[in-house]
Chain A
Amino acid sequence: MRRGVLLSLLLHIALVFVLWVNLPAFLIPEEKITYINVTLVSSPDAAKTTKKQEIKPVKTQQSNAPREAPKPKKEQVQTPDHGTKVVSTQQSSKKTQVKKQEAKKQQKQEKKVSEIRPPKLDKTPDKKPTPVSKKEPPKEKTEDDFLKALSFIDDLKNKKEALEEGEETDTKIFDVDQQDIAVLKRHIEKNWFRPPGIKGLNDMSVAVLVSVNRDGSILKMELTHSSGQPFFDNSLLRAVRKSVPLPIPADKYDMFKTIELRFNG
């Protein structure tokens, strides 16, 4: 009973979460999928291109044997085409899960073998340790799987980042993104001369879409939402132009290729 309830509860939560998170991305055909693939897959693509450019300097500076080893894995990952990649990641993760589970089974068998001895001494203490040992390992396993699934992504990113930075968890990467955004925000705000005490500032809103070149210069800038006050719009456009080169981390160019700057008073 409990299992059934737990299972259905889990599935329900999963369903709600998936809906909330916009899973229909799977159902919606090309646009979103291609979009998705760009970001997920672009990192290996970027890695490819950067590799071609960077391999030489990297080799001259440092040559690390362990880093070269993961390359075959990447190639396996890269071989599937854009459309199928999402699936492939899942498959591969499933594979890894299967492998892990097999490994777990082996471990369990070993444990069972090792556990055969204590029950002979006492039954009561045995019961307690066994459930604990059962409960704890699955948690570790899920975390392992989680990390492995992520390490998959990490591998892609690490490849892209070449040899500069070692191991990073996904959460760290997220933090860095926030930091990058904060740096960019501060940089532009510093250059934005906006007269103080404007009447109705709290009702003003502006949005600018900026396409950025790799060197931080502006490829294209478009006022997507005007405040209705030319002086105010222009002050922001001036601020963006004055902010060139925009402080965009070179290794995350794809992420910062287009930036939307908004002000909502």
Chain B
Amino acid sequence: MKKIILSVFVCLVSAFGLQNANALVRIDLTDANANPLPIALANLAGTSEEEKAMGKQIKDLIRNNLKNTGLFRPIDDKAFLQSEESLQKQGPVFSQWRLIDTQAVMVGSVEIIDDGSADKKLRVVYRLFDVYSEEQITGRVYTATLKFWRHVAHRISDDIYKSLTGEEGYFATRIVFIAEEPSGRGYKAKKLCVMDQDGGNYQCLTNGRHLVLTPRFSPTAQKVIYMSYESNQPRLYLLSLVSGEQEILGDFEGLNSSPRFSPDGNSVAMTLTMGHAGNPEIYSMDLRTRKLRRLTIHRGIDTSPSFSPDGKSIVFNSDRAGKPALYIMDKDGNNVRRLTYGDGKYYAPVWSPRGDLIAFVKQLNGRFSIGVIDPQGEEERLLTDSYMDESPSWSPNGRVIIFARQKGDSTRVHTIDLTGYNERQLPTPTDATDPSWSPLLQ
């Protein structure tokens, strides 16, 4: 008996031993380093002083772009071990770049071509290398008119961003917003203005004599739809940034407000009060036929529609259940379902171009926050907390939210990453509200 037990035991032990012996060392990784990715950006080389200066300018702009995302940590030029001359002659010596702990290194050159025409041409070549595999990650040649050098730098930033994060960049974009200036007549003049996402190329499109509100960029074209009192009535205008042409989008009785383009740019959802005793309802308009279609029929207030990126659903704000909350309906108005059930009031929903989140403003205990929630309504997160945060809008890659924050009597435009980190104030010459992000410029 004991012998049997013993032998069985021995068998088990040996079998177990064999099992262990068979095991391959397998490591399940879970966490990762959440710090910004270190990246080295060398000055773009040039032969003349002008080219060298331009190369540095472009590099500095790329550096600024990448740094502002919060996802990259550009390494100080002073830490570079390989000299610029050596870089030009023999390309990057990766062992030296590994020593300064960078993951990737960008090198390139700038050429300014004066072909006798009015505008000089700019030709930029760059390559981004993986310092560890010693292979090229990406690389391109851009040729443009010299005065568009900022755009070239933004495009290169987008390339680098995409190759290292897997998402489209958002640097070659513009932001339209309402600039508020003291008019000298006791109130603030409101102008429709537009600038690059980094604050460059600032210009205003209206003169400030009339109240303008809620500008929205078309997701496909350089067009802006906004609300204006130019005709002394609140009406929606469609403005082409390329041609400067402007037209009224229908002239309906009552309030015309909170427009939002569909993802294909062919229709607009908006709020109108016509014909139902001042009760705001949501309509959609086909921009080609100008045909109007009513989507909501409810005695409560329905407003702030925003399309999902597939164009099949619309998220909107309604107080039909007593207090303002967010609802989702199909694009034809059917199948309305409530999205938010939390405490407080929800306003201004915007569906992320990535589709995975909906941003909103939440009012709770006298404070306003920007928050995000998934379209199933399961996980709600508040990203900011302040006395007055409003007007959220997504970057075209669905990564960053831009919003207006009021502090005292001054309102400025801020951005925040969807992780809730990296909150920044955008440089605007005056107060700014109602920001809206453009699609990626080509």
Residues of A within 8 A of B (CB): 3, 7, 10-11, 14, 17-18, 21-23, 25, 32, 35-36, 39-40, 86, 89-90, 93-94, 97, 101, 138, 141-142, 145-146, 149-150, 153, 174, 181, 184-185, 188-199, 229-232, 234-239, 241-242, 255-256, 258-264
**CB-based nearest A residue for B31:** A189
**Mask: chain B, 1-24; 1 = CB below 8 Å from A; 0 = not:** 111111111111111111111101
Contact A234 B15 (CB under 8 A): no
Contact A261 B27 (CB under 8 A): yes
In the complex, what distance in Å separates the CA atom of A90 from the CA atom of B11? 8
Contact B1 A7 (CB under 8 A): yes
B158 within 8 A of A: no
A238-B132 in contact given A14-B8, A14-B12 (Cβ < 8 Å): yes
In the complex, what distance in Å separates the CA atom of A86 from the CA atom of B133? 43
Residues of B close to A94: CB separation below 8 A: 7, 10
CB distance from A29 to the nearest CB of B (A): 15
Contact B13 A195 (CB under 8 A): no
Give the dominant DSSP class at B's interface.
mixed
Besides A149-B14, A261-B27, 4 other A-B contacts (C-beta < 8 A): A21-B16, A90-B10, A101-B3, A195-B164
Contact B165 A242 (CB under 8 A): no
Contact A260 B15 (CB under 8 A): no
- Residue in B14, B162, B354 whose CB lies within 8 Å of A89: B14
Contact B5 A142 (CB under 8 A): yes
Interface residues in B28-64 by Cβ distance below 8 A to A read 28-35, 37-38
Contact A146 B13 (CB under 8 A): yes
Most central of B5, B137, B398 by chain A CB within 10 Å: B5
Residues of B within 8 A of A (CB): 1-22, 24-35, 37-38, 71, 98, 103, 130, 132-133, 137, 162-167, 354, 356, 398-399, 417-419, 421
- Residue in A10, A196, A198 whose CB lies within 8 Å of B8: A10
- Residue in A14, A35, A231, A260 whose CB lies within 8 Å of B166: A231
- Residue in B16, B34, B130, B421 whose CB lies within 8 Å of A234: B130
Residues of B close to A3: CB separation below 8 A: 1
In the complex, what distance in Å separates the CA atom of A138 from the CA atom of B2? 8
CB distance from B25 to the nearest CB of A (A): 5
Contact B12 A231 (CB under 8 A): no
Contact A258 B1 (CB under 8 A): no
Contact A263 B10 (CB under 8 A): no
Contact B16 A10 (CB under 8 A): no
Residues of A close to B16: CB separation below 8 A: 21
In the complex, what distance in Å separates the CA atom of A197 from the CA atom of B20? 37
In the complex, what distance in Å separates the CA atom of A17 from the CA atom of B29? 30
Contact A242 B167 (CB under 8 A): no
Residues of A close to B166: CB separation below 8 A: 195, 198, 229-232
In the complex, what distance in Å separates the CA atom of A46 from the CA atom of B27? 24
Residues of B close to A184: CB separation below 8 A: 27
Residues of A close to B33: CB separation below 8 A: 189-194
